[in-house]
Structure 1
C-alpha cells in the first residue's frame, strides 16, 4: 500500500495517527492535571512532550502507574513507539529482545553469536509487561528484515510490516507494504532538531543549567537546585569509572515530579554503569518516566555495564552509531541514527529494551509560528477609479535572489498562490509569510486591455507590517474595442414627433457618490460639452469607455417647458452593450400643456 492510498480504519498506522492526534489534543489538559497532582506547583512555561507524539503511553489501555520489571500478567497496553531508529537496527551478540513497538527507517538485521537463536519484539516474558495491542505493528521497517540462518525473529502476537524483503524465519504476521515506515520518516529530522534545542535552546546560544554534574571516579553525581520543575544538566565527559570501568549514577536535589534533562554533549559519549535495578525502590528507578538522556551531537554513543538503565534516550545525529550492551534499557530509545543491540564480550546474554513511557515536560522546541499578512492588489479604472471585477492575477514570491520577477528559465521565482480573480471591489488578496512579492496580471477585466507592464511590485511583507498587510493599486485602461455609445432621441410627449434643438451635456460618474455632482470639492467629470438634437430629434455620444454616465439637458427646444429634473441616468456603458450602444428617449411637453415629462 503506498502512502497516497486510503487505509482502512483498523490499519495499525491509522489507529496510531488517530491516537497521537487525540493525545496531543489532551496535552494542555494533562499538564494542568499534573500541576495539580504536584501540590499546585506550576509547570514550566512552554512545557512540551517529545516531538511527533512520542513519549507517553498511547492507548491501548495505559496503566495508571507503570509496574517495576516483572513476569506477571499484562498490566495494560501501549501502542506508542518504544524504540525508533532513523538508520539500521542490528541485533548481535546475545541480545534477547525489545519490548513495545519498534520502528526503523533502515534494515532490521538479526545475526546473533550467542544467547540462543531467538530475538523477540513486542512482548517479552520479563519487562514492564505493557506491550502493544495484539495485532498491532510490533515491528515496522522501511528496509529489509534480515534474519540469519537458524535464527528466529518473534513477533507472534503482532505484525511485522516491511517495505523491503524478508529473509529468514519471522514468527507473526508478515505484511509487505511499500513505504511501510514512510509515515515516520519525518521523525529523523525532528529528533535532530529537538535534541539540539534541548541542549542549546531554540536560539542555539545555550540552555542554562539548573544543576551540576561531577564525576568522582566511582560515581557521577547530578545535583539539582531543589526547586526547578525542569532540571537541566550539561555533561561534557563520559559517565565511566577509573580506567573506563563501571560507576554509579546518583541524583540529588531533584524535586518530586520534576523533569530531568541530561545533555550528554560532545562528538562521542560512553555511559558505563551498574546503577538501576529490577525493583523500583531504587532512587534512580523512581526518576525513570521523567528522565531524558539527550545526546545531541555525538557520532558514537555506548551504553555499557551491568545495570538496569533508567530513563529515555534521544540520540539526534542521523549519522550516529549507538551501541547498547546493558542488561536492560528502561524507557524509550529514540535515535535518528543506527543502533546495535548486543552483549559485551564475555558479558553474558539476555540484553533487553523494556517499554516505559516518557512523561516529562520538556522545553517547547516547536519553532514559533511565523507571522502572516495579506498581500493585496486592487484593480481600478484608470480614469474614474471604479473597482474592476474579473481581472486575473498571479502572486509570485522572490526566491531566486535575482532582482525583479523571473517566471521562466532555469531558476524562476516561486508561485505563491493559485490564480486570483478580482472581486466586486476589484480586490485580489493572499495571506502569506513575510517575504518579497510581485503581482502579475494574466488577464484584464472584461472590456479592458492588458497594460504594457504586467508585473507590479515588489511588495515587502515583514514581521512589522504583517498585521496591516501591504497593497498596491493597478489602473486599467479600457480596450478601444469595448468603447460604447449613447444615442439620444427627443420626442413630443403628445404627438411623438421628433424635437430638434435640445442640447445635452454628457457627464461621467467619477467621484463614486450617488447621483450627478457638477460642482463642489469633488464633482463628477464632464465627458462631453454637449450635442444638439437634429431635425430627426437625434444626437449621439460615441467612443465612450466603460463606465456610468449622466445626460444633463442644458437647452430646451423652443416652445417646450424645462423638465422638472434636467439630469437623466445613470446609464452604464459596458463591454456587453458596447456593440449595440444605449438608446435614451427624452419626451418634451409643450408650454401650453403646462408641463413636460
Structure 2
C-alpha cells in the first residue's frame, strides 16, 4: 500500500475522506566530540547496554565466536605466533541488531569465547568489538585481507555464526616503534618508518538509517580511490568479499597528507542485495547518522570523504560507506474545487540536513535544497535518487488564476525504504486555491472551508513551532 499525504484541500463533504499517512519521523542523531581522532588513536566506543528489547529468531542454532586479541609487532596484517602473543584483560563485546550486548574479557592466551545459543542475542549475525586497553599508547593493528583465523582484522567487525557455524575473529593492537622485523630501525622517537593505514567497510544499509546493523550485508566490488589534495599519485583499491578495503604504506599511502577518498559503486552487481535494487537505484545513505563514529557512514551524497593521514604509525579504521536503495517523493497537485490535476505548479524540495526541527532556508548551517520541479499535465512531478531522511516542500509558483498558499512550506515528510522505495515513492497531494477578488484590488484564495480533521496546512508542517521557516 502506497503512503499518501494530502494537504491543503478545502472542506465540504469530501473532507472526511481525506487521508493523511505520514510515516514516523526518522531521527538522525548528530555525531559529537572528536570520535574520529579517538578512533585513530585506537579508541573503541562502548556498545549499547544489554537488556534492549529483542525481536527475531533466538540464537538456538548459532555457533561459537572466538575472539583473539594479539599484540602485533611486525605490521604485516597477519597473526604470527609465537612472536605475537595474546593480550589478556581486553574487554570484548558481541552485539546483535537490537543492541543487546554480551561482554567477555580475554584470558591469559588473549582469547574470549561467546556462545550466543541460550543467550539474549538473536539473529546469527553479530558485531564484534575489541576495546583498546591503553588508548594513550596503543593503536589498532594494521589489518590484512580476508577472514581466516590468522588474518588481523579491524578491532570492530562482523561475524556470521548462524547454522552452527563456528568462527575465530583475530584482531590486535600495536605500539608504533616497537615492531621488530620489517622496521628494525624506527629512528628518532621510535616512530620513523612506522607504517600508516586507512580503511574499513562498505555495506548495504537495508533500513536506510545510516547505521551498520550486524544483519546488513557487505558490498564487494566498490572502487575506492585516494586522491591527495596537494600533489602525488592517486591510489586505488576495491572492496573485498567482506566489503572491506585497506590502503597503507605498502600501497603508497603517505603520512601527514590529506586525501579525498571517493567510493564508486558503478561496478557493483546489486542482484544479491536485499530487495534486488537496480544499479540505478543505489545511492549513498545518510552521513554521520550513527550514535558513535565506528558504525556510521562517512561519505557525502557524491560518495566522497576527506581524510587526513597523521604521523607515522597512524591507523584509522573508521572510513565506512553505506549504500542504500534510492527513494522517491512524488507530488500530485490538483484544483481544490474540482480535484482535477493542475499543471504548472512549481515546488522546491529541501532536505533537513542539520537536524533542527522546521525548515531553515537561509544562513550558514541551513537545510539543503535538493531541487525544483514543475507539475506536468497530469498534475505530477517527482524527485528521485533521494536518501532516507526528512524533507520539506516549498511552493514557489502557481499557474495563472491560482494563488500561492499563505504558508507555502509543507512537511516534514519522512522518507524511509518502507514508505518511499516502490513506484512513485511517497505520494504527497497538495491542492491549489483559485484566486478571487477580496477588496482593494487584491487577489485572494477562494472561499474558506474547513480542512480535514488533523490536516492543518502549515501548522502540521512545523512541529507546532511558529518560526519554522527561520533565517
Higher strand share: 1
For the aligned pair, the TM-score class normalised by the smaller chain equals 0.3 to 0.5
